[in-house]
Structure 1
Amino acid sequence: MLVGEPSQPAVVSRARQIWLLVEYGVLFFALAGVYTLIGHPGSPVPFLVLSALGVVLYLRSRPDFDRRDFLRPRAIRGQLRPVLTLWALAAVAVLLALLILSPGRLFELPRRDPIVWVIVLVAYPLLSVYPQELIFCGFLFHRYAPVFGTGNGFVAASAAAFGFVHIIYGQWLSVVLTVILGAVLARRFARTRSLAVVWLEHALYGLLAFTVGLGSFFYNGAGD
């Protein structure tokens, strides 16, 4: 059952669609590519937070944006079981894979630097997860619906953008994993229109990665 019924994308001209498609490519692919090529000038978190603030201002200025989409916390109740079930299956799979393929990585961050691990547990959902979901779900869903729609096209566009920006960490595995996660999150958002739901789900997977030993694929300081 859908929690938030998506409105039909606005009908725009072909020229407008081309403009939006080019804009999508620049914002989600070209900028990440440039950032990577110039050698990661500092942490991406300040840029992420500033971008998210800009997105909030933009969405609040749009009369066709439903401000309930910023959270919709009531949607969590209906989605909690499928979210936790999928997360538990993923957690078991990741733990088994690390145990077999790279046991030295298991619980690497909490073992080596528990203080940093605790900081990550607190700061990551607030400073990284929600800003990302604002951008890759809330903004992308609203801004580019005339190009990608609000169904499978949106899911593919969101997953591709979300995965590609992780090239900044220089790890092919981080891109592959985030494309998969991005598809899960985008589909969940398309069904619920709830940033609270995808915020929770994204945070669960991120904290799992930093805890079990995949942190070095998503944060340069999380491992050797």
Structure 2
Amino acid sequence: MTDTAMLSPLVRRGRWVEFVTFFILVPVAIAVFLPASMMFPALFAMTGLGVMLLGITNAFTWRSLTEGVWRINWQLVAMTALATGIAGWVILSLSAPERLFALLGENAPRTADGWPVILIIALFYPLVSALPQELVFRPLFFRRYGAVLPGGRAALVLNAVIFSLAHLMYWSGIVALMTFIGGLIFAWSYEHRQNFPEAVVLHSVAGVVLFTVGMGAYFYSGNVVRPF
């Protein structure tokens, strides 16, 4: 069910404008115009707005977010983790071998309190990054805008494109490709399998694995170099 199914043509057009503004114009503006120091605050603000829009979407209920928690395919999670790890290892081996597993070992970076940075990432990435992103790019996308967008497989591909576009701020072809593939998997898990918890787990595991391998530098705004 989508929120636009019973809306008037005028409201449907308004919803389409809302979709284009939120998922296309805003990410492009962040990537093109904002300084690196402002990118993450802008993304957090965008996420907050997205959650607010989700909350007023008639076709969405917060209770739906727990549906599927007992149906998580842990074999799929393990395969995703393995594939992500191999992909990250290959990419870094070819592009920046010195970064491989930089967050592990005796000389790995630690917080001021002595905690390994990778442990902090593993603990907080699912809650601070994966969960908010999944709320915005899965339930908001499909429940609020589904009726004004293509359906079926086209919807999954479009969702992956939009998810990849949200990472344009890194100006990296590698990031664009990996987030597109990840977006396909997460969208399929949410929309096809009707399993939001599984999508969050897949996103969380993939992200933590990437940081563990050493791919975090690709997702750090301080390393952003615009091609213009």
Q: TM-score scaled to structure 2, two decimals?
A: 0.80
Question: 1:29, 1:130 → 2: CA distance?
Answer: 21
Residues 1:23 and 2:24 aligned together: no
Distance 1:221 1:122, change over 3 A: farther
Question: 1:28, 1:59 → 2: CA distance?
Answer: 14
Residues 1:95 and 2:89 aligned together: yes
Distance 1:65 1:149, change over 3 A: farther
**Match of 1:104?**
98
Contact 2:4–2:12 (Cα < 8 Å) also in 1: no
Contact 1:71–1:196 (Cα < 8 Å) also in 2: yes
Contact 1:159–1:179 (Cα < 8 Å) also in 2: yes
Distance 1:154 1:69, change over 3 A: farther
Contact 1:48–1:128 (Cα < 8 Å) also in 2: no
Mean CA deviation greater in 77-86 or 42-51: 42-51
- Code of the residue aligned with 2:76 in structure 1: it is P
**Match of 2:74?**
80
Question: 1:21, 1:63 → 2: CA distance?
Answer: 16
Question: 2:90, 2:214 → 1: CA distance?
Answer: 12
Instruction: Give 1:42's match in structure 2, choosing from 33, 37, 41.
Output: 37
**Match of 1:206?**
207
Shift of 1:162: 0.8
Question: 1:36, 1:186 → 2: CA distance?
Answer: 23
Distance 1:124 1:19, change over 3 A: same
Shift of 1:114: 3.7
Distance 1:8 1:149, change over 3 A: farther
- Code of the residue aligned with 1:33 in structure 2: it is V
Shift of 1:188: 0.8
Residues 1:65 and 2:65 aligned together: no
Residues 1:121 and 2:115 aligned together: no
Shift of 1:209: 1.3
Distance 1:13 1:62, change over 3 A: closer
Matches within 5 A, 1:128-167: 128-149=129-150, 151-167=152-168
String of CA shifts for 1:98-126, please: whole Å, max 9, x gaps: 33553222012445524343332222221
Contact 2:57–2:144 (Cα < 8 Å) also in 1: no
- Code of the residue aligned with 1:27 in structure 2: it is F
String of CA shifts for 1:33-84, please: whole Å, max 9, x gaps: 2112223353544444444444444333344323333232524x44221222
Distance 1:112 1:38, change over 3 A: farther
Indicate the SS of the match to 1:108: coil
Shift of 1:221: 4.8
String of CA shifts for 1:156-192, please: whole Å, max 9, x gaps: 2211111011111122211121111111111111023
Question: 2:122, 2:41 → 1: CA distance?
Answer: 18
Question: 2:12, 2:2 → 1: CA distance?
Answer: 18
Mean CA deviation greater in 36-45 or 8-17: 8-17
Question: 1:191, 1:25 → 2: CA distance?
Answer: 24
Aligned residue pairs total: 217
- Code of the residue aligned with 1:176 in structure 2: it is L
**Match of 1:190?**
191
Indicate the SS of the match to 1:42: helix
